Structures are given as C-alpha cells and as structure tokens.
Amino acid sequence: MTAVDERSGPTRPFPPGFVWGVATSSYQIEGAVDADGRGPSIWDAFSRVPGAVAAGESGDPACDHYRRWPQDVELMAGLGVDAYRFSVAWPRVFPDGGGRADRRGLDFYRRLVDALNERGITPFVTLYHWDLPQALEERGGWRVRETAERFAEYAATVHGALDGVPYWITLNEPYCSSITGYAEGRHAPGAREGHGALAAAHHLLVGHGLAVARMRATARPGERIGVTLNMSPAVPASPSAEDAAAARRMDLMVNRQFTDPLLGGAYPGDMAEVYGEISDFSFRRDGDLALVSAPLDFLGVNYYYPIHAAAAPYGQPDPALRSAFDIGVRTVAPDGPPVSGLGWRIEPRGLHDTLTGLAGRYPGLPPVFITENGYGDAGELDDTGRIAYLRDHLAAAAEAIGAGVDVRGYFCWSLLDNFEWARGYAARFGLVHVDYATQARTPKASYHWYRETIAGQR
C-alpha cells in the first residue's frame, strides 16, 4: 500500500462520541429487483429509457447486496465503523406504493438491522433515497400531494416494523428528487418541467412533515428523527453585483428552498422573484409550513463541492444545468482547485462554510451529521485521490466543530462501488471495489486508511 502512511488521518481530535460511519442506498447496491415481490421503482423504468443511463445500465444487479449483505456487514465490522446509513426500498415494502405491506421486504431489513446491532454498528435508516414505486409515479409522482400521504404511511409502516434503529432519516436530497428528476430530466422520472418540479419539491417537504408526525406519535425512547439535504455553497464567480445576485438565485434553488421551510418555517422571500413565470405556488396549503418545520433531532448534510455561479442572460440557460426553467445563472469552473476522478471540484472549504453558514443562518440548528461526503473515480485500488479528499474534508469538518458547529458524525459515501445513477457503474465512490462480473469485493487503500483514521480517533 502506498500513500497511506504519508497521508495521515486528521490530526485534530474529534469530540468524544463522534460517530464514524459509511453510507449506501437501496437502489444503488441491492440488485434483486424482482426478488420477494419487489415492485418496480421509477429508477427501473427510467433505466430502460434509451440514453437515460450511461451504457444502458440499471440497478440490476448492482452489488447484489440483497443476497450478499452478510459479507458487507463483515466489511463494515472490519472497518470499525460505529454506524451504517442505508435506505429502505419503498417498492420492497409496498410494491404498488400502498395497500398491504409485503412482509418479505420488511424481513430483509429486519435481518440487516439485527446483524448490525449484533456487531455494535448503529443503523441510520433513510426512508426515501429516490426509488419511488413506479405505480405512484403513474398517478403523478411527487407532483401530487397523494404521494406525500402515501410516503407517510410507508414511513409509519417501516418505523413500526424495524426495532433497533435509533436514527431515522425521512428523505435523502429532496433537491435531486425534485429539480434533477422533474426539471432537468437527468434523474428518474426524467421529466423536464418547471411548475411540476416546484410542486415536487414542496410535496417532498410535506411528505417529510407528515412522516415525522406519524413517527413521533409512536417513537420508541431515544429514537431520533431527521432529514438529509445535499448542500452546495453558491459562490459568486466574480465580485460583481450581477454574479452575487446569480449566486443568491442558485443558493435559493439548491439550498434555501429546503433549509428555510425546514429550519425556519417559511419559504425564502425571493422565491417568486427567482422562479419568475413558473411561480404558481397553488400547491401550498394552510398548515403545510407548520408541518414541514416541526422540530428535528438532527440535520443530515451531504457535501461534495460548491457551485460557482455567474449571471447569464435569461433565455440562454446554462446547458450544464439542462433545466426546464431559467434562473439566469451559469455555472463556471474556476481555475485552481483540483478535480476528482469524475471532474468534480475539490474544495473542502465548502464543507466548512456550509456547516458554519447553517449555524449562522438558523439559530437553534439541531445537531448535524455529515451523512455523505466522498470521492468518485474510475475505481483504482490504490486510491490516493480519495484518501486526500477524505482527509481534507475531515479537517474542514473539524475546523467547523472548532468554530462551534455541533457536528456529531461523518459518513463516508460509500462503503461499496455502486450504481451511480445516470453515470451507471463507471463512476465509483467505494472504499471497497466491486467487480460486477464476479461480485468480488476488494478493499481499496482508502478502506485501510479510513479504518486507521477511525482507530486513531478512539
């Protein structure tokens, strides 16, 4: 192994009790898309659309985790993590989105939760990581309120069925589920709409609020409930007033559209101005914001990179955004910062600024878990780029903690190489390499580095 010794772990100690974890999601690792009565999800359908996913790939067979999960739990035990964040596949529990729960789907997660607890690994369960039952999409998907109501029923069912889960996360990255899926068409369901995407964003938040209320009513002692957002600071590309305004518009779309209602109980005041002609918010109902802003026990933050934003003439949308609507912004790639193996900018400062920015904007911010952070490449075993990325982002998190932000844990994305959505299997984020032809798992240099880092912080 090469660079592990030279690239030592973070020198700053993390607070006692800091949670070290890894994260995955159901559709990205499970495979077995027809097993035990699982119904189709929007990703099964979207993957079949020619050109939607690189090389025509899909989440079948992914890492075949549905059958190989005991081996994956052993990999986690070997890593020495405190916690594992995974998601439940809604179509395994309700193959048609609602009705009668399928015991077989729930049993799979019961076995997993039991095995984790037996090894002292705390389960963090995400209820929705993008695999909406296709049957619900055919009734309008997240554009319609009924999906939020079905989500709350599903959440209450899983919550009732799974004992031994202290941490519950309602949604993963509602920005991606709404804007990337319903406005940019890059993710399932592949829609390119303006108003539909805004309705989806709102109904995701309503679904979260309804689910929180249902779970609170039956919570077991010590259970904690939160939500996970992907956050990217929007940095003006230049000191000009125009670029500063463009960055604020981008910040609204990516961050404040979600954080303000969840943490502040109100939508941002500049929302109608930013969304212009698609600003028909008739899907909002009295009482929604009270529901959405019910107190959280923690906030999950996923951070990968900041967005550098410049003003763009309306009518000439940024082709990189591919959005069905126009907010007068162009993203730019500044000179300087290195990029990951996937070409994503590497700016650890963005994680620090996200965390301190949240604490500054929202008095009473609940404790934060960094529920995802990671590095994508083509799958090298000697993945020094990933090690450097993780080390520098952990240092940025430590600095934010030193500045007073209550960060309680860090989850590396991801335990395994997996199905990276529209990029298919070519983009790999794992600490463990997966040979998809044989399903052989091989720990990378970063796996050993992360294990040593965690051990060094004990």
To 5 degrees, how large is the angle CA 364–CA 369–CA 371?
140
| Cβ proximity to ligand IFM, 98 vs 379, nearer residue | 379
Minimum CB separation from ligand IFM for residue 63, in Å? 13
Nearest to residue 203, comparing CAs of 105, 111, 107, 291?
Answer: 291
Helix, strand and coil percent figures for the chain, each rounded to 5: 40, 15, 40
- Looking at beta carbons only, is 66 or 413 nearer to ligand IFM? 413
Q: Report 184-213 residues binding ligand IFM (CB under 6 A).
A: none
Cβ contacts of residue 282 below 8 Å, gap of 6+? Answer: none
Give whichever of 266 and 339 is closer to ligand IFM, judged by the CB atom.
339
* Out of 372, 377, 399, 417, the residue judged to bind ligand IFM by CB under 6 A: 372
- Closest CB 418 distance from ligand IFM, rounded Å: 7
Q: Distances in Å between the alpha carbon of 14 and those of 120, 224, 365?
A: 20, 22, 20
The residue (of 173 and 347) whose beta carbon lies closer to ligand IFM is: 173
Q: How far apart are the first and last CA of the chain?
A: 23
Q: Would you say 30 or 173 has its CB closer to ligand IFM?
A: 173
Q: How far is the CB of 278 from ligand IFM (least distance, A)?
A: 26
Q: In what order do the strands lie in the sheet with 234-236?
A: 234-236, 307-311, 329-331
Q: Does 413 bind ligand IFM (CB under 6 A)?
A: yes
Distance of CA 357 to the CA centre of its chain: 19
Under DSSP, is residue 192 helix (H, G, I), strand (E, B) or coil?
A: coil
Select 311 or 431, whichever has its Cβ closest to ligand IFM: 431
Nearer to ligand IFM, 43 or 151 (CB): 43
Q: Which residues are within 8 A (CB) of 320 and not within 5 positions of it... i.e. 6 or more apart?
A: 331
**Least distance from C-beta 420 to ligand IFM, angstroms?**
5
Do 109 and 152 contact (CB within 8 A), yes or no? no
Q: Which of 177, 259, 302, 340 binds ligand IFM (CB under 6 A)?
A: 302
Does residue 131 bind ligand IFM (CB under 6 A)? no
- Residue 173 a catalytic site member: yes
Q: How far is the CB of 303 from ligand IFM (least distance, A)?
A: 10
> For 265, which DSSP code?
S
Contact track, ligand IFM, 414-433, x by CB under 6 A: ------x--------x----
Alpha-carbon separation of residue 153 from 94, 98, 150, 208, 223 (angstroms): 10, 8, 5, 11, 18
Kindly state whether residue 377 participates in binding ligand IFM, applying the rule CB under 6 A.
Answer: no
Query: Which residue, 184 or 420, has its beta carbon nearer to ligand IFM?
Result: 420
How many Cα atoms sit within 13 Å of 18 on the Cβ side?
Answer: 22
Give CA–CA dist 66/53, Å, rounded: 22
- What is 211-257 written as a DSSP string? HHHHHHHTPPTT-EEEEEEE---EEESSSSHHHHHHHHHHHIIIIIH
**Catalytic residue (one of 173, 184, 399, 420):** 173
Shortest approach of ligand IFM to residue 279 CB, angstroms?
28
Tokens found for residue 169: 């996360």
For ligand IFM, the closer CB: 86 or 429:
429
Strands 298-302 and 234-236: unpaired
User: In the bound complex, what is the minimum distance in angstroms from residue 280's beta carbon to ligand IFM?
Assistant: 29
Residues belonging to the chain: 458
CA distance 347 to 34: 40
- As measured in angstroms, the least distance from the Cβ of 388 to ligand IFM is 18
Interface with ligand IFM (CB under 6 A), residue total: 8
Is 138 a residue of the active site? no
CB of 94 to ligand IFM, least distance (A): 21
Taking CA atoms, 118 is separated from 28, 81, 114, 161, in Å, by 25, 13, 6, 18
SS3 325: coil
Among 18, 25, 76, 102, binds ligand IFM (CB under 6 A): 25
- Which of 44, 57, 131, 173 touches ligand IFM (CB under 6 A)? 173
Of 30, 137, 184, 372, which one is the catalytic site residue?
A: 372
Binding region for ligand IFM (CB under 6 A): 25, 28, 173, 302, 372, 413, 420, 429
> What are the residue numbers of the active site?
173, 372
